[in-house]
Structure 1
Amino acid sequence: MTKSDSGKHSVGGASRRLVLQSAATLLAAPFVAKPTNAWAQEKLAGSGEVVVFSYGGSFTEGVRRAVYEPFTKATGIKVVDVVGDLAASQVKAMHQAGRVDWDTAYIEAEAYPAMHEAGMFKPIDYSLWDQEALEGTPPHTRFKDAVVGLASGLVLSYDQRVFPEAGPQNWADFWDIKKFPGPRGLDFRGKHAIQFALLADGVAHKDIWPLTDDKLDRAFAKLNEIKPHVAKWWTGGGEATQLMINKEYTMADAFDGRLISAIHQGAPIKFVWEGCYLTYTYMTILNGGPNTANAQKLLAFLNRAQIAAAWTQATGYPGPNANQVKYLPPKIIPLVSVDPQNAVKCIIDDANWLVEKRPDGKTNGDHVQERFLTWRTQ
């Protein structure tokens, strides 16, 4: 990892970091209005620095421009970013060593429960947040010691060149080979394809989770129908989008941020929100970090609606404050999951269930993945 405030980034392997850093920067971040600056200067003014974890690449570049630089200008607090791959293992190592060098980190939803129980995070001071941020951020995205930092979705996307009039609108359409012919793409990770299969088989959104064994049996029976038409089980974050551009897929599940970036560059792709698989990444303040007070101020600043809108435009992955929609350009709103009309169509990843242990000692997530890998190789 590297510690920097000068634009240098470390290079890692294919990972969530690469999914995020390559999908960033939809538009130039909007100007931060005087009321936001005045509020920050009054409520959040300080000195010194705050050390934040980030994914590098265009993700960090966008966040610097949209959030960090305006934050420093308004508050006097310098932001130093630490670039690395997934943060959880490094945070655990710092916690065990008794020396925490960072102030904030993005933590994957499945890693959060155990780290929370171990006391690795400081309670978030919501008293620093303005009323618009509190009212716009749903309670299920705000915990005592974590708040959703970004949401990434796997959505049903399709090639407009193949379906110029009316493309697939839901996962039942994805399974309909006669009405919508052509090669498909699906993510190699089982929990996503299993959800889509259940939706295609008529399971209601509210009944997807937990993925009990009877639901898994039902999902695999449905997956048997589509398996011959999956041209490739994609593995990389931008692979599905690129293969569709290359005409190797007619439709695929793909990450929303990657699709938005491609669409803004002229790619002939559309996507729908119905049945989106939504995964949260939490923003946390690390217990024992060197600049906790400044980290609290940064989170309060970031979650202000106007700054949240700037974050979304800079990264392609929105935080949960729905009031940011008031500050987003109209053409962006239909493309982001935080729009209330899109949010109701999404199904949120049940990270707590996935990390629960089964009688055999395996987690539910491991069990699902093992069943899926066995099925896929048959």
Structure 2
Amino acid sequence: MDPFVAETGYEVQIVDAPGKYLASLEAQQQADNIEWDILDSTSGPDAYIAYDKGLIEKMPDDVQERILQELPETAVTDFGITWSTLGYIIACRTEAVEKCPSNTTEFFDAEKFPGSRTSIATSPMVNLSLAEIAAGVPIEELATHEIDLDRAFKTLESIKSELSTFWSSGDQNMQVFNTGEADMGISYSGRAYSVDKQGTPMNITWDEGLYNPGFYNVVAGSDHSAEAWEFVEWVATHPEAQAAWGEELGYSFPHPEAFDFVSDEVAETLADFPANRELLGVMNYDWYVENYEEVNTRWQEFTRG
């Protein structure tokens, strides 16, 4: 952020709103009072829903054309660029259990791998996708797989008595492990590694996890749309700045050359590191957009009951 500000002279104000993008954007739109210009690290499912609801802008054609000269097509959508990409992985407190799950399928086998569990509260698509993997859907088919909701919720029900807590933010994700509220769980990859570095030994497995791109998006109705897209393009074309982000926060970036500027130790913890990436499935965002209301209604019923 600082190098961009230095180059452009723009004044930038950062507002912290973890996990609340959709609700906040809808409220701002309804009040006709758009307070934000850019969304930083919008989770994949939320970004696709936001675009479908008209809450974020389509990328200008000329901006997209220039960005595609720098980034692979997989990192560029009609509404933004991938950013702060993470893996939803299985993390386990090694001192709390005799044996940690080595993949998602084993995580859903509470008989063979007993212990209290945790998962993300704010993303039903993550939980349902992982449940489908545990039910036998190959990760390479997940991106086009239409989730069988009855089967997925039945799979989730099989470990519900072990799901002692749900987390709603990255800080809470770490807290449930650091305090021992859960022995194992579905975690942001970067947060799981941070817990381990802070002194709670963790077993982290990428096998059968989920690849989740965050996105840089520009808010529909922004008074500074042109400047916002200028920032997105600046980020896309500065791999060294992307690498600095990855080193600091432990999440991945879209520019392949950015890996030239990160240490091997950090690179091996990132979702785009080849050995990790090949183990991860991709969620079917189009299916989620089409089934958004039913998915969220049933998820709320599941977490309440």
Confirm or deny a common fold (TM above 0.5).
yes
1:93 CA displacement: 4.5
Query: 2:262 aligns to what?
Result: 328
Choose from 52, 55, 59 the match for 1:113: 52
1:112 CA displacement: 1.7
Q: CA RMSD in A?
A: 3.4
> Contact (CA 8 Å) 1:321, 1:338: kept in 2 or not?
no
> Contact (CA 8 Å) 2:146, 2:287: kept in 1 or not?
no
Query: 2:140 aligns to what?
Result: 206
Q: Does 1:316 align with 2:255?
A: no
1:235-274 equivalences in 2 (<5 Å): 235-274=168-207
Of the two, which has the highest radius of gyration?
1
The whole-number CA distance in structure 1 between the counterparts of 2:278 and 2:232 is: 26
Code of the aligned partner of 2:109: D
Code of the aligned partner of 1:125: V
1:343 CA displacement: 1.9
Deviations 1:202-231 (A, max 9, x none): 211133356747x22222332333223222
Tell me: CA distance 1:286–1:167, structure 2 relative to 1, closer, same or farther (3 Å): closer
Query: 1:158 aligns to what?
Result: 92
Deviations 1:266-319 (A, max 9, x none): 331232222323433322345775655554443333222211111222333323
Task: Return the TM-score normalized by structure 1.
Answer: 0.65
The whole-number CA distance in structure 2 between the counterparts of 1:302 and 1:199 is: 34
> Contact (CA 8 Å) 1:122, 1:284: kept in 2 or not?
no
> Contact (CA 8 Å) 1:129, 1:301: kept in 2 or not?
no
Local SS of the residue matching 2:4? helix
The whole-number CA distance in structure 2 between the counterparts of 1:334 and 1:191 is: 26
1:170 CA displacement: 0.4
1:167 CA displacement: 3.0
1:142 CA displacement: 0.7
The whole-number CA distance in structure 2 between the counterparts of 1:295 and 1:223 is: 40
Query: 1:346 aligns to what?
Result: 280
1:129 CA displacement: 4.8
The whole-number CA distance in structure 1 between the counterparts of 2:250 and 2:63 is: 26
Task: Return the TM-score normalized by structure 2.
Answer: 0.79
Residue ranges of structure 2 left out of the alignment (5+ in a row)? none
The whole-number CA distance in structure 2 between the counterparts of 1:335 and 1:294 is: 33
Q: Does 1:80 align with 2:19?
A: no
> Contact (CA 8 Å) 2:81, 2:216: kept in 1 or not?
yes
Deviations 1:114-143 (A, max 9, x none): 327x85654462565595xx2xx3313212
The whole-number CA distance in structure 2 between the counterparts of 1:241 and 1:175 is: 21
Local SS of the residue matching 1:162? coil
> Contact (CA 8 Å) 1:312, 1:319: kept in 2 or not?
yes
The whole-number CA distance in structure 2 between the counterparts of 1:103 and 1:375 is: 35
Local SS of the residue matching 2:114? coil
> Contact (CA 8 Å) 1:280, 1:349: kept in 2 or not?
no
1:171-320 equivalences in 2 (<5 Å): 171-188=104-121, 189-208=123-142, 212=146, 215-285=148-218, 294-303=227-236, 304-320=238-254
The percent identity for this pair of structures is 21
Q: Does 1:140 align with 2:140?
A: no
Code of the aligned partner of 2:51: Y
Local SS of the residue matching 2:140? helix
Residue ranges of structure 1 left out of the alignment (5+ in a row)? 1-67, 357-363
1:159 CA displacement: 0.7
Deviations 1:137-179 (A, max 9, x none): 3313212442123324321100122358x63210122133344
> Contact (CA 8 Å) 2:139, 2:282: kept in 1 or not?
no
Query: 1:43 aligns to what?
Result: none
Q: How many residues in Structure 1 have an aligned counterpart in Structure 2? A: 295
Q: Does 1:368 align with 2:302?
A: no
Tell me: CA distance 1:225–1:305, structure 2 relative to 1, closer, same or farther (3 Å): same
